Amino acid sequence: MLKKKSHYDVIVIGAGPAGFASAIRCAQQGLKTACIDNWRNKKNQGRLGGSHLNTGGVASMTLLESAKLYHQLKHDIENHGIHVEGVNLDLPQMVQRKDKIIDQIGHKMADLFAHHKIDYIQAKAKLLNLRQVEIAAMDTAELSILDAEHIILSTGSSPIKLPYAPIDNEFIIDSMAALNLDVVPKKLAIIGAGVVGLELASIWNRLGAETILLEAQENFLSLLDQQVSGEAYRIYQDQGLDLRLGARVISAKKANKKVTVDYQDQDGTHSLRVDKLIVASGRKPNTSELAAPEANLLLDENGYIYVDGNCRTNLPGVYAIGDLTLLGPMLAHKGIEEGIFVADIIAGFHNPINYGNLPSVIYTEPEIAWVGQTEQALRATGEAIKIGIYPLTATIRALAMGKSEGMVKIIASAVNDKILGVHIIGTQASELIAEAVLAMEFSASSEDLARTIHARPTLSEAVHDAALALK
């Protein structure tokens, strides 16, 4: 049964970070807004936040915080003169805490929707044309059509499936299931040593699993500054992660409550038997059923939506943001900024996004964070540069915390001293990078950063001292 139409100024499809931020901003601009989302939690209830909140960065980071505490109590706390006996792991309780925090955030997001009078519709949506969206209710076969002057597509992304490692979410599992295990596997393998793979490995390695990462690329974290990725490789190995590069998985089969993984590297073919195999081999945009064929929404061969520099699709009044486009990497904060940007465009304002100053973070321990260009990229173009490096082993606060692994690296132009890139590996790198982003957004020089007084003792002193070290 098709219900009668409802009209809005803006319809947002998807309520992850990008869609949520866009809907809020549209409402703040006085636009009548609806947001359609079909995410369901473990209790089959609608929940805002998308995969980032429920199965991605927020869920992973929350579980990692618990894993870090457990690991410290088991291995590091005696260095502080604190002796603890009988430390036991209650993994279901740890996962329950993670779920409770996610629920709290989801409820607060729903409260914000209500406060801004946004219609939150729990349904599956399909773009029919440049003004209409068909919605299918989650619990019935009922269809409705909504009209809007503007439509914002923000359905996010999902894990890429591998035909040679079919997921059953019992033995061969995806990243969502990997954050909801009730028993720590004795031996665990992860396909992919990128951001997701490393973040999951950091959790389970600290909880006691023998963890092996199988990465098809020969170079570790090749998009990062090579000096930082080399330091990360050393630190992760020292922590007990088994990183195998150039390891291309060719098959994964379950048998006798184990998984046998066959992979090839330069030395030939090898086999592993593990308790669990996590597939963390990248993500793809959720566009397969987003638009009706007659809508003529333009996609590329990988399912990304074509947009211009203002996030406009080929359909007038229809925008795409977040993980659906190739404007920048798949990052929650990138999607949030695009959501706000598009809402402002619809309201008649234009505040462009500086993708060149977009920070990236890997939430391991230590964390990795960076903004701007890498040393290898700048040298490849012949740019005259100078570099300042300061190790956290020389930072008083890091030593006091017992977390002195890592460094801050600043790259500046040798011609005009403009900061071109900042790369950090160390505890709370995700917080430290904000200073670098702000400096670069205001076109600061390394001298500006060096002359800025930093409190002592703090971790941020390492940024100050790296600027002083430039030469």
pLDDT of residue 143: 86
Average pLDDT over residues 340-363: 95
* C-alpha closest to that of 183 among 204, 213, 168, 200: 204
The tens digit of pLDDT for each residue in 71-108 reads: 999 988 988 999 988 899 999 999 999 999 999 999 99
Average pLDDT over residues 396-422: 96
The CB density around residue 241, as the number of other CB atoms within 10 Å, is: 21
pLDDT of residue 6: 75
Domains and CATH numbers, the chain: 2-157+284-355 (3.50.50.60), 172-281 (3.50.50.60), 366-468 (3.30.390.30)
pLDDT of residue 142: 81
Question: Could you give the CA distance from residue 190 to residue 179 in angstroms, rounded to a whole number?
Answer: 13
* C-alpha closest to that of 125 among 113, 138, 116, 134: 134
Mean residue pLDDT of the chain comes to 94
Q: At what angle do helices 332-346 and 17-28 cross, to 10 degrees?
A: 30
pLDDT of residue 146: 94
Q: Look up residue 56 and give its DSSP letter.
A: S
| Residue predicted with more confidence, 45 or 259 | 259
pLDDT of residue 135: 92
Long-range contacts of 96-102 (CB under 8 A, 24+ apart): 97/62, 97/66, 98/59, 98/62, 98/63, 98/66, 98/179, 99/42, 101/58, 101/62, 102/41, 102/47, 102/49, 102/53, 102/54, 102/58, 102/59, 102/62
Q: What number of H helices and E strands is found in the chain?
A: 13, 21
Residue 152: both structure tokens together: 């914002």
For the ranges 14-28, 130-144, 186-200, 297-311, the lowest mean pLDDT is seen at: 130-144
214 within 8 A of 252, measured Cβ to Cβ: no
pLDDT of residue 17: 96
The tens digit of pLDDT for each residue in 17-75 reads: 999 999 999 999 999 999 999 988 777 778 899 999 988 889 999 999 999 999 999 98
pLDDT of residue 41: 78
Question: Could you give the CA distance from residue 150 to residue 148 in angstroms, rounded to a whole number?
Answer: 5
Please state the pTM of the whole predicted model: 0.93
Average pLDDT over residues 263-290: 95
Q: Look up residue 299 and give its DSSP letter.
A: B
Given pLDDT bands bounded at 50, 70 and 90, which one contains residue 414? very high
Average pLDDT over residues 155-164: 93
For the ranges 138-152, 329-343, 418-432, the lowest mean pLDDT is seen at: 138-152
* Distance, first Cα to last Cα, the chain: 71
Average pLDDT over residues 236-257: 95
Asked if the model's pLDDT at residue 2 lies above 60, the reply is: no
Residue 275: both structure tokens together: 């308790």
Question: Could you give the CA distance from residue 52 to residue 330 in angstroms, rounded to a whole number?
Answer: 11
| Residue predicted with more confidence, 144 or 31 | 31
Asked if the model's pLDDT at residue 166 lies above 90, the reply is: yes
Given pLDDT bands bounded at 50, 70 and 90, which one contains residue 1? very low
User: Residue 146: CB partners within 8 Å, gap ≥ 6?
Assistant: 5, 6, 7, 8, 11, 34, 36, 132, 133, 135
pLDDT of residue 410: 98
* C-alpha closest to that of 22 among 339, 352, 322: 339
